[in-house]
């Protein structure tokens, strides 16, 4: 859950930066920029196609908080894993780094504590408070830090091990965390708009975005505004491998 929260806020930061760049390019009062602003105004208010997001200090503060909570959550799961039988314990890549980063974040008032010294001496490429991300993955501590993809794989393994141990102990763990806790409540799908509050940041699913074919006039405007940058970005991606 917390891994997805961090990834969501990182996506919001990236989208906010792109929206801000778009607004900056459209700030000049020209016929072209006026046409572009008018084209965005055709969409309804809060439509994700409009450049609405703003890269604020508050958004970066949320990213810092989500990263902190994830490190704490990983540490708590690690402590739970230590109580499982040795033959079913799962390990995460850079698990020692995750523990050091959690200690540094949790004990922020210790400017040069033992975990900070350990990190600097044994993992000089890892920086507390830093997060690196691209369209594929994110890593806490920098590019060589703890990857979110590794955390997710580890959590799947931990869930399987923990579920097996609970079942063996006669305990049935919940499988659907959004199911009602009241017996029979979900038998009748009414009212259909029932709210199941959970961890996710509100987002309009992409399949619900309004779409229409771009007119020739708008296509010409798009290429005039984005054509050069599009070719530059395409050149940057030539060496990428999927």
The residues spanned by each domain of the chain are 2-172
Cα separation, 142 vs 13, whole angstroms: 17
Q: What is the DSSP letter of 86?
A: G
The neighbour count for residue 126, using CB atoms within 10 Å, is: 21
The per-residue pLDDT string of the chain (242 residues; one tens digit each, 9 = 90 and over) reads 788 889 889 989 998 999 999 999 888 888 888 888 888 888 888 787 888 889 999 999 999 999 999 999 999 999 989 999 998 998 887 888 999 999 998 887 777 889 999 999 999 999 998 999 887 889 999 999 999 999 999 999 999 999 999 999 999 888 888 889 899 999 988 888 788 876 555 566 666 666 666 677 767 766 776 654 444 444 544 444 44
Which is nearest to 135 in space by CA: 3, 5, 13, 2?
13
Using CA atoms, how far apart are residues 27 and 227, in angstroms rounded to an integer?
18
- Global pTM reads 0.70
Contacts of 63 (CB under 8 A, 6+ apart): 6, 9, 10, 13, 131
């Amino acid at each position: 859950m917390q891994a997805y929260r961090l990834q969501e806020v990182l996506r919001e930061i990236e989208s906010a930066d792109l929206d801000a760049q778009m607004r900056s390019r459209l700030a000049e009062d020209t016929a072209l920029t006026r046409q572009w602003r008018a084209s965005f105004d055709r969409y309804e208010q809060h439509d994700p196609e409009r450049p609405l997001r703003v890269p604020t200090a508050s958004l970066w503060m949320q990213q810092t908080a989500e990263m902190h909570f994830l490190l704490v959550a990983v540490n708590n799961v690690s402590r739970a894993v230590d109580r499982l039988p040795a033959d079913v314990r799962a390990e995460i890549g850079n698990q020692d780094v995750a523990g050091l980063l959690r200690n540094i974040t949790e004990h922020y008032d210790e400017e040069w504590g033992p975990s900070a010294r350990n990190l600097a001496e044994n993992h000089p490429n890892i920086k507390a408070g830093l997060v690196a991300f691209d369209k594929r993955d994110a890593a806490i501590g920098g590019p060589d830090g703890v990857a979110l993809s590794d955390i997710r794989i580890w959590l799947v393994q931990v869930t399987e091990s923990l579920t097996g141990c609970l079942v063996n102990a006669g305990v049935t763990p919940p499988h659907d965390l959004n199911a009602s806790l009241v017996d029979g409540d979900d038998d009748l799908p009414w009212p259909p708009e029932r709210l199941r509050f959970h961890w996710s940041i509100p987002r309009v699913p992409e399949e619900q975005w309004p779409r229409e074919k771009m007119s020739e006039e708008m296509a010409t405007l798009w290429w005039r505004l984005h054509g050069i940058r599009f070719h530059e970005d395409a050149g940057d991606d030539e060496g990428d491998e999927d």
